[in-house]
């Protein structure tokens, strides 16, 4: 339905009004009529379309003024205009009032009209083009047949030496920053200037002011400047009307991701304001609205192609870096090293010059479960007919009813609010560090019905392998051979198998692993054929929490078919680690190449492994997130 407003005539007076193309004016002719007027006629210029509505029945009015209608309280005119005016007040409607039998008008009222075209436009059909006046631009829907414009959160840093992310200030330092923003165009057409008392205003609501920012392109042809006009403390901006057919270009950035109290939808409005008389506030006579959905924060699973690997340089990880470099040379990836002046001694950080988001709890205590080895994502899955084309986020938590550690509520709420990768809570509080990447990962298997396999740490698989080697006569094979400082005792397969306390601890660990296995099968729609068990052992501290007994091979880096696996330093049999040989026998037939990386001194002793000390930037999903059906 077009926007409508009422204009009241005053007999004997000239009334001026602006009609925005696509709207209707309702003109009250009865209230303006002289007391003894019984009928009326009207004339209008060709640029105006007029209907007389009498007792609910509409009749098109011709321009020549020969029609005559009876006056009644329900009498009203319906006006519209289809072409913008070239001059102010260039179109006119004249109403003549008559007494009952008089053929000469006893009075008349005039309405002088200026037609203006106003359209605030965005890419509502998501094809990369800001089309004109899309009828669905003010709403937003999900799904492949959905509509509505999209907005990115500008949370990276195009200029490396700036202290904060780009969305934290009101400036554009480089045109590269514009690639993180969405275009919005205000299209106008009309006379060289607006009639006196009218102006256009672009504005946002107070509730959206901390979620969206708008920049105006000033002087677009000579020395472009980008002026911040909306967002934070700026709620409105008076738009300069340039006359004729014009397009004003704006760039819009998101300031916040969706969250518990923010659906992700923001709206921007333009209104034409009218001043009736000096001293009175302006009133809006026309408003056009566009709606954006801020893009959710999306994780990329191991099944997506790797682009670059990020790792920190530390005083004690030179050999680790060397082995990572050797692994990456086998791939098409780039290595990005975060040097000590940037990482400030934190070997676990995830890389410089990359978009990020933070959440800080107000009242909850932060634990190691809030570190992001405890934040993983599955490949795309279908569960009981429900599709998750971007996978599902996986986080570690405490055992139900145990009252243990959980990821803070503010982070869990944030992940849930992203909608497109519905989170699953696993049980990781049984581990000292408590991260899900300590017992699971995914590897790509393209071309299969399920294009991935879930790798899970398994103490049962480790004991089974060691018993097999013991039966083969290798019970005295030594673990950690050649590693000084790992243990003062000579650790063999026989000693591992005869250590009843260790056996019981790993039975407990396996029960925890099996609990997670069942959750993953249910929530990701997996079967046993989709899971590969990698040997692992754990030992418990005095509080009953577990840590890896030897470097945990499941905590690997996945670069397509090249896997960087923590070197386990397992029992040597014929000069080969039987743990490495077993893992290779499981993964090589699937096309994987395993490179075992020594992380024992630089990461394992600090309760982390290869995956903990690296991060992989991957190609984004080809699937469009807005096609998700929540």
Q: Tens of pLDDT along 426-444?
A: 999 999 999 999 999 999 9
pLDDT at 352 over 70: no
Angstrom distance (rounded) from CA 85 to CA 47: 8
Angstrom distance (rounded) from CA 28 to CA 78: 9
Structure tokens at 175: 């045109």
Angstrom distance (rounded) from CA 462 to CA 538: 10
Angstrom distance (rounded) from CA 194 to CA 88: 7
pLDDT at 136 over 90: yes
pLDDT at 487 over 60: no
- Per-residue pLDDT, averaged over 523-531, amounts to 97
CATH number for the domain harbouring residue 252: 2.60.40.1700
Angstrom distance (rounded) from CA 225 to CA 235: 21
Residue 615: inside a domain: yes
Domain final residue pick, 294, 322, 339: 294
Residue 299: inside a domain: no
Q: Is 518 helix (H, G, I), strand (E, B) or coil?
A: helix
Domain final residue pick, 271, 294, 317: 294
pLDDT at 216 over 70: yes
pLDDT at 161 over 70: no
The 593-597 sheet, strands edge to edge = 557-559, 562-566, 593-597
Domain final residue pick, 229, 264, 294: 294
- Per-residue pLDDT, averaged over 492-499, amounts to 97
Residue 386: inside a domain: yes
- What's the N-to-C CA distance of the chain in angstroms? 29
| Same structural domain, 22 and 51 | yes
Residue 576: inside a domain: yes
pLDDT at 99 over 70: yes
| Same structural domain, 286 and 139 | yes
Phi/psi for 144 (5° steps) reads -60, -25
Least confident of 101-115, 152-166, 337-351, 370-384: 152-166
Q: What per-residue string of b and e applies to 412-430 under the rule 16 or more CB within 10 Å gives b?
A: bebbebbbbbbbbbbbbbb
CATH number for the domain harbouring residue 483: 3.75.10.10
The pairing of strands 48-54 and 225-230 is unpaired
Residue 222: the pLDDT is 65
Residue 35: inside a domain: yes
If one counts the domains in the chain, the total is: 3
| Same structural domain, 356 and 451 | yes
Please say whether the beta carbons of 186 and 224 come within 8 A.
no
Residue 630: inside a domain: no
pLDDT at 163 over 80: no
pLDDT at 403 over 90: no
Phi/psi for 322 (5° steps) reads -60, -40
Please say whether the beta carbons of 582 and 596 come within 8 A.
no
| Same structural domain, 463 and 601 | yes
Element (H, E) at 498: helix 493-498
Residue 613: inside a domain: yes
**With bands split at pLDDT 50, 70 and 90, how would you rate the model's confidence at 402?**
low
| Same structural domain, 263 and 311 | no
Residue 348: the pLDDT is 76
pLDDT at 554 over 80: yes
- Per-residue pLDDT, averaged over 574-600, amounts to 97
**With bands split at pLDDT 50, 70 and 90, how would you rate the model's confidence at 498?**
very high
CB atoms within 10 A of CB 174: 10
pLDDT at 55 over 90: no
**With bands split at pLDDT 50, 70 and 90, how would you rate the model's confidence at 340?**
confident
Average confidence score pLDDT of the chain = 92
Residue 629: inside a domain: no
**With bands split at pLDDT 50, 70 and 90, how would you rate the model's confidence at 335?**
very high
Angstrom distance (rounded) from CA 37 to CA 476: 117
- Per-residue pLDDT, averaged over 450-470, amounts to 97
Q: Identify the domain containing residue 129 by its residue range.
A: 123-294
Residue 404: the pLDDT is 85
Angstrom distance (rounded) from CA 388 to CA 410: 23
Least confident of 154-163, 168-177, 228-237, 594-603: 154-163
Least confident of 63-72, 75-84, 198-207, 337-346: 337-346
**With bands split at pLDDT 50, 70 and 90, how would you rate the model's confidence at 95?**
very high
Angstrom distance (rounded) from CA 372 to CA 297: 14
Q: 494, exposed or middle or buried, with CB in 10 Å at 0-12, 13-18, 19+?
A: middle
DSSP for 262-331, written as a single string: B-SEEEEEEEEEE--STTSPPEEEEEEEEEEEEPPP----TTSPEEEEEEE--TT-HHHHHHHHHHHTTS
pLDDT at 185 over 80: yes
Q: Is 453 helix (H, G, I), strand (E, B) or coil?
A: strand
Query: How large is the angle between the packed helices 459-471 and 500-524, nearest 10 degrees?
Result: 130
**With bands split at pLDDT 50, 70 and 90, how would you rate the model's confidence at 313?**
very high
| Same structural domain, 318 and 218 | no
| Same structural domain, 336 and 480 | yes
Please say whether the beta carbons of 167 and 253 come within 8 A.
yes
| Same structural domain, 346 and 401 | yes
Q: How far is CA 352 from CA 157, 160, 162, 322, 340, in A?
A: 9, 8, 12, 20, 12
| Same structural domain, 21 and 51 | yes
| Same structural domain, 92 and 153 | no
Residue 355: the pLDDT is 74
Structure tokens at 102: 């008089």
Please say whether the beta carbons of 583 and 554 come within 8 A.
no
Active-site residue set: 612
CATH number for the domain harbouring residue 55: 2.60.40.1860
**With bands split at pLDDT 50, 70 and 90, how would you rate the model's confidence at 396?**
very high
| Same structural domain, 274 and 345 | no
- Where is pLDDT greater, at 260 or 279? 260
- Per-residue pLDDT, averaged over 383-400, amounts to 94
pLDDT at 278 over 90: no
Sequence length of the chain is 630
| Same structural domain, 224 and 270 | yes
């Amino acid at each position: 339905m077009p926007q409508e407003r009422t204009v009241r005539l005053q007999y004997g007076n000239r009334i001026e009004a602006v009609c925005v193309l696509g709207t209707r004016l309702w003109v009250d002719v009865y209230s303006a009529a002289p007391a003894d007027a019984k009928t009326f006629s009207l004339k209008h210029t060709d640029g105006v379309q007029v209907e007389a509505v009498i007792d609910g029945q509409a009749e098109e009015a011709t321009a020549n003024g020969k029609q005559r209608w009876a006056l009644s309280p329900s009498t009203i005119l319906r006006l519209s205009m289809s072409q913008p005016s070239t001059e102010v007040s260039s179109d006119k409607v004249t109403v003549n009032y008559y007494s009952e039998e008089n053929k000469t008008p006893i009075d008349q009222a005039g309405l002088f009209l200026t037609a203006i075209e106003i359209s605030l436009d965005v890419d509502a059909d998501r094809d990369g083009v800001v089309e004109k006046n899309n009828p669905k631009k003010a709403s937003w829907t999900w799904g492949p047949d959905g509509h509505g414009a999209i907005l990115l959160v500008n949370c990276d840093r195009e200029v490396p030496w700036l202290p904060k992310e780009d969305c934290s200030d009101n400036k554009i330092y480089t045109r590269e920053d514009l690639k993180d923003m969405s275009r919005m165009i205000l299209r106008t057409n009309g006379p060289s200037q607006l009639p006196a008392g009218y102006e256009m205003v672009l504005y946002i609501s107070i509730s959206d002011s901390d979620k969206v920012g708008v920049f105006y392109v000033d002087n677009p042809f000579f020395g472009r400047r980008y002026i911040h006009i909306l967002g934070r403390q700026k709620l409105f901006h008076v738009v300069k009307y340039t006359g004729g057919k014009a397009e004003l270009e704006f760039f819009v950035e998101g300031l916040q991701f969706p969250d518990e109290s923010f659906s992700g939808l923001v709206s921007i409005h333009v209104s034409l304001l009218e001043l009736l008389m000096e001293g009175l506030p302006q009133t809006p006579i026309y408003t056009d609205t566009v709606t954006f959905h801020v893009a959710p924060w999306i994780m990329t699973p191991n099944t997506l192609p790797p682009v670059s690997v990020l790792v920190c340089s530390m005083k004690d990880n030179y050999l680790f870096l060397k082995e990572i470099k050797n692994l990456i040379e086998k791939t098409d990836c780039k290595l990005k090293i975060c040097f000590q002046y940037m990482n400030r001694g934190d070997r676990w950080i995830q890389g410089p010059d990359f978009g990020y988001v933070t959440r800080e709890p107000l009242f909850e205590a932060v634990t190691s479960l809030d570190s992001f080895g405890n934040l993983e994502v599955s490949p795309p899955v279908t569960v009981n007919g429900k599709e998750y084309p971007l996978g599902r986020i996986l986080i570690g938590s405490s055992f139900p009813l145990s009252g243990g550690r959980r990821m803070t509520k503010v982070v869990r709420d944030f992940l849930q609010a992203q909608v497109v990768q519905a989170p699953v809570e696993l049980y990781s509080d049984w581990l000292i560090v408590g991260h899900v990447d300590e017992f699971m990962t995914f590897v790509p298997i393209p071309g299969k019905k399920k294009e991935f396999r879930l790798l899970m740490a398994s103490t049962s698989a480790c004991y089974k392998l060691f018993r097999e080697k013991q039966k083969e006569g290798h019970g005295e094979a030594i673990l950690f051979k050649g590693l000084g400082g790992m243990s003062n005792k000579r650790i063999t397969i026989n000693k591992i198998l005869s250590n009843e306390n260790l056996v019981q601890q790993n039975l407990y660990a396996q029960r925890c692993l099996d609990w997670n296995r069942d959750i993953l099968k249910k929530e990701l729609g997996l079967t046993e054929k989709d899971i590969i068990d990698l040997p692992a052992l754990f030992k418990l501290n005095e509080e009953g929490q577990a840590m890896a007994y030897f470097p945990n091979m499941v905590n690997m880096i996945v670069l397509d078919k090249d896997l960087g696996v923590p070197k386990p330093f397992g029992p040597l049999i014929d000069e080969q680690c039987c743990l490495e040989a077993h893992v290779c026998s499981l993964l090589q037939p699937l096309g994987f190449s395993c490179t075992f990386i020594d992380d024992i001194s630089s990461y394992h002793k600090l309760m982390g492994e290869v995956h903990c000390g690296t991060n992989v930037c991957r190609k984004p999903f080809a699937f469009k997130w807005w096609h998700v059906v929540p």
